[in-house]
Amino acid sequence: MSKTWETKQRIADVALALFKTNGYEAVSVREICDAAGVARSSFYNLFSKKSDIILFVLESIRSTFPSRIPNFIDAESDLERIWFLMKAILDDVLSFGPELVKVIIQLEMTEHCGFFQYGSAFNDWMIRLLANCQKNGIARNQQDPSLLVPILVRAASADLLIWVCKDGNYPILEILHSQIGTILDVVPEYRHQLCDVITENRV
């Protein structure tokens, strides 16, 4: 790991903490530099502007995602694997908090940071998993998985927007669980299994 990357990561960690505490707009580059112990010149050698920190964090999350779902292999069914994928992606986003997610959505509109493509990057995985669910009788909706998976991703994106608008006061995971069951027409036995997984993850 290079010293340059370590410095960028340190700046990003400090900046995110400041953004969450004080609000994105209220935090200046000077405050970030002071808290991270770097000169402003060093900051601008690594980032052209404050919003680049967010883009760097999003890219870091994307690149390390597969290593952060250890329960994926041990799941009891491919339906659980679909859930683990979608939940892990949402958990990454929710960890920013609603105010910072608003900022990220604004950046998506102005700088096309690929925020809404984050979940779509794993569509191929979910298409294969859903095809297995259909074959094994877990999902009774037999429409083409390549059409159903984008519907699931759009549902999750819509839920996220509602979560942001309600300042985080929205049971997004429970709602998404219900939507997965309805859209895929999951048999009752596996709907209950998924409920158990959600409950276990809260403990």
Identify the DSSP state of 73.
Answer: T
- Model confidence at 66: pLDDT above 80: no
Residue closest to 130 by CA, chosen among 144, 111, 119:
144
Lowest mean pLDDT among 37-41, 64-68, 131-135, 197-201: 197-201
pTM of the model: 0.82
Radius of gyration, alpha carbons of the chain: 19
Output the pLDDT for position 118.
67
Residue closest to 154 by CA, chosen among 116, 185, 114:
116
Other CB atoms within 10 A of residue 174 CB: 12
pLDDT grade, residue 109 (50/70/90)?
confident
Q: Rounded mean pLDDT of 166-180?
A: 92
